[in-house]
Structures are given as C-alpha cells and as structure tokens.
Amino acid sequence: MIGHILVCILLASSACMSQDEIPTVRMIRAYGANNEMLPPIVMLNSELEHDVGSSYATIEFDLTAPTIPNVYARATHCTADWRPDENGFLTDITNRTSIVDWTLAPERSKYFKYRGKIKIPNEQTTLKFSGNWLITLYDLNTDAVIGTTRIFAVNQRASMMLAFMTDFYEPLKRVSSIAYTIEATVTEPSGKLLTNNVHNVSFYRNNRWNEAFIASERASWNINPRGVGSAVIGILQGGKVFRVSRLPAQNEYRVLDLSDQSRYPFTGQPVRMPLSDLRRNGMFIERSNDGALVTNMISSLYDEYVPVEILLDPNPGGPSQDDVFVVGSFNNWKPDRSWMMYFDEELRMYRCRQWLRRGRQNYLYATGRLSADSDQILDLSFEEFEGNTASASNSFVAFAYYKEFDFGGYDGIVAVTASNIYSNGR
C-alpha cells in the first residue's frame, strides 16, 4: 500500500514537472527552402519547370524553455478546405521528425531563448502525397501541442493562369467599393484531368495561409467569407475555369521596419511608434514585402524581439463601434485576443503593446468582434481603417485540386501559380 502511494506521488510529481517545463512557442512560420519571401510550397516533381515552389519547406519557430527542448513535428494530410484526413494511408502517425537545427537567442533576449528550424521533407519524414499538409509541433515529453503551421505539396500535372478584373462590392463602411474578380484557367494537354476530377481552386493572398477563397464543384456555397462569390464556369478554350468574385482589393500593407536600432532600441520597455498611424483609403507611400516578414538584414547579435507600442489615430471618424486588431506578418495574419487594441480616452488613440521581431514587418488594421464564448474573432474586416485600392501590389497564389482515387481517395494539388493585378492575363 505504501509502495503504491509512493508510486502515485512520484508519477504526479513527474507530471507536474513536465507540465511546468512545456516550452512556449512565441512565433511559428513556414516558407520555401531557405528564403523567407517564398511561399511554403514543396514541388514533389521538382525537375519540372514551375513558377513557384521549392524542393523543401522550412518550419521556423522561436520558443522559450529552461533548456533546449525535445520537440517533434508531425505532418497531417488535409482536404482542400483543411480538414484533417482520417484515412490511415494518408495520415501516418509515424510520419514525424525530430531533426531540428537549433540556434541560441541573443544573450540579452528576454522574449525567447531558442530558435528551431525543421526541413520538410527530410531524412525522417516525407510528403508522399500532394495536397494540403498541417504541420503540428509537439513537446516530446508530454505530447502537448505547442504550435501549428501550414504547407503545400504539389505534384505538377497541369498548368494554370490567373486573370484579374476589377469589380465592385457593397462595403459596410464608407470606403471605396473596389474589388477583384479572379479567374483561374487550368489546362492539361490530354484533357483527362479536367472533366470531373479537377474540382477545386483555392486562392490565397500571398503569406496569408489561413484565409482561403474557394471556387469548388463540391464545397457548399457559403464556404467563403460574407459577400464573396464563386463559380466553376466549365471548360472553355481547352481549360477549366474557376472564378471568385467580389474580393475586397484591400490596400498595400503598412511597413514597420524594426531594423533601425536608433528608432527602436532594446531597453526592455515598450518603445512607442514615433508617429501614430492614420486612417487611409487608397493611399500608401512605400511598397511592402507582399505580406512576408523579412529579417535577412538583421545581424544574429540583434535578431531579437522588441516590445513596441503601436498607435492608431482613428480620426477623422472617431473610434470604431467594433473591436480593433493589428494583423500582420508578426502573427501570421491570424490575430487573437492579445492583438486587440484598446482606445485610450486621454490620448484619443488606439494602443497595443506587443513583442515584435526585428525585421521588416507588414501589417494592417482590422475590425471585428471578439466572441466572449469562443474567444474567436468574428467578421474580421480591413475596410474601416484601410479602405481599398486596386493599385496595391499584393499577389495571390492559387492551387488546383484533383480528386485522386488511390489510397482511398484524397485531394491532391496538380497545379499552382501566383500573380497580381500588374502581371495578370487581362
């Protein structure tokens, strides 16, 4: 009996210790090969010519932990709309890797301690099937999930071209009603892929992999955000045409360059932006990085996070009736409660304090409603403080999905391309 009690105490103590030592991921992102400007697209038949894609993807993550942690990444195959496949052939629980390239944070760093990089595929894990892949990072000691990101695998068997047309929509706020209609034409020499099995094209604003706009023969009509239309036109001039319409053009991304240490010194205290941001509608000064975080100009001695106070002046127009969020490359364009701004009645400005990694960050201001029940952000929109302009150079990446019949059936990607309104087919 005493031995049994001692065993229970030891197990409980071990569990508590493991829970306390679970590493905290500060940021996780994915990009192509060793270039943070490239999308995380792995070309499975990389010997063929292609517009976008690399031979491998890099999963990069910063975390804090008492010592270099034991972590592993698991790859899970997903459907075209990112539902994990339950098919055991596709989602092998042993398809995981613990090969991590670790580097130490700068000595003075307070926000993170270790940076890990994982190449996928590598010696331990493969991408046997094309399609969407969810990469989940686990703590090896407790099997707790500590981060997720997304990559794509393409078996190029067709080609695709994008055509942009300006369109209109009905904005909720008093901003420009400029929108896009984008057509993707998928072609394949034999035509065999195009009849029924090429069933879906998903469009993403580059580097914003949590916001798909889908034109599909099989998905429900309301899969897209409010107001966005979609259609499959059929086979025209030797190609199958997929269309999404009434996509708000949005605006060129704002740029926050944290490489200047004289303007953003590391003091351990939040550094306030020199000037507050202003509302805009169709106006911008400099081109962005197409939504990517660029850090290659930062020395390893200063590749750290800086506490920054972001300021937004809501005038003219005053404070929003909705919650306001700052959204950008620093949170993978997917904000949560910690990125919500609050309105300072004394300053008459919105404020948000956050740790931001040094580099050239891209961002925008969004409005929405934070759900008290689910902690999710509902009806996220960039209209109110950003407006719309077709002059923005933000590009889109499109993926064409084919219903493969092997291994129980799955959504494979047979074509990928990228373009913007300056380099489109119309």
Tell me what pLDDT residue 5 has. 42
Same domain, 348 and 397: no
Instruction: Tell whether 424 is covered by a domain.
Output: no
Q: Are 143 and 15 in contact (CB under 8 A)?
A: no
Does 302 lie in the same domain as 219? no
Q: 154, 183, 212 — which closes off a domain? A: 154
Q: How far apart are CA 184 and CA 416, in angstroms?
A: 10
For residues 211 and 302, membership in a common domain is answered with no
Q: Are residues 379 and 396 in the same domain?
A: no
Per-residue pLDDT tens for 32-68? 999 999 999 999 986 556 678 999 999 999 999 999 9
| Residue 4 placed within a domain | no
Q: Is residue 136 part of a domain?
A: yes
Cβ–Cβ < 8 Å for 240, 201: no
pLDDT at 165: 94
pTM (predicted TM-score): 0.92
Q: Give the domain range for residue 331.
A: 254-386
17 pLDDT exceeds 50?
A: no
Query: Residue 281: pLDDT above 80?
Result: yes
Same domain as 31, residue 141: yes
Counting Cβ atoms within 10 Å, is residue 3 exposed (0-12), middle (13-18) or buried (19+)?
exposed
Strand order in the sheet with 57-64: 24-32, 57-64, 114-120, 101-104
Checking if the pLDDT of 146 tops 80, the result is yes
Closest among 304, 419, 302, 324 to 370, alpha carbons compared: 324
215 with 300, same domain: the answer is no
Domain identity same for 244 and 258: no
Q: Do 229 and 130 share a domain, yes or no?
A: no
25 lies in the same domain as 144: yes
Domain contains 13: no
Is the separation of the CB atoms in 255 and 328 below 8 Å? no
**Mean pLDDT over the full length of the chain:** 90
Ranking 87-91, 198-202, 397-401 by mean pLDDT, the lowest is 87-91
Residues 259 and 245 in one domain: no
The answer to whether residue 60 is domain-embedded is yes
CATH label of the domain that carries residue 241: 2.60.40
φ and ψ at 3, to 5 degrees? -60, -40
Q: Count how many domains the chain has.
A: 3
pLDDT at 225: 87
The predicted pLDDT at position 9 comes to 35
Residue 44 forms part of a structural domain: yes
Q: What is the pLDDT of residue 357?
A: 97
In a domain, 35, yes or no: yes
Q: Which of 182, 159, 296, 186 is nearest to 241 (CA)?
A: 186
Burial of 295 (0-12, 13-18, 19+ CB in 10 A): middle
Q: Could you give the percent of the chain with pLDDT greater than 90? A: 73
Query: Is 12 a domain residue?
Result: no
Residue finishing a domain among 154, 173, 206: 154
pLDDT reported for residue 46: 64
One domain for residues 39 and 132: yes
| DSSP conformation class of 385 | H
Could you tell me if 271 and 376 lie in one domain? yes
Residue 257 has pLDDT above 80, yes or no: yes
CA distance 329 to 293: 5
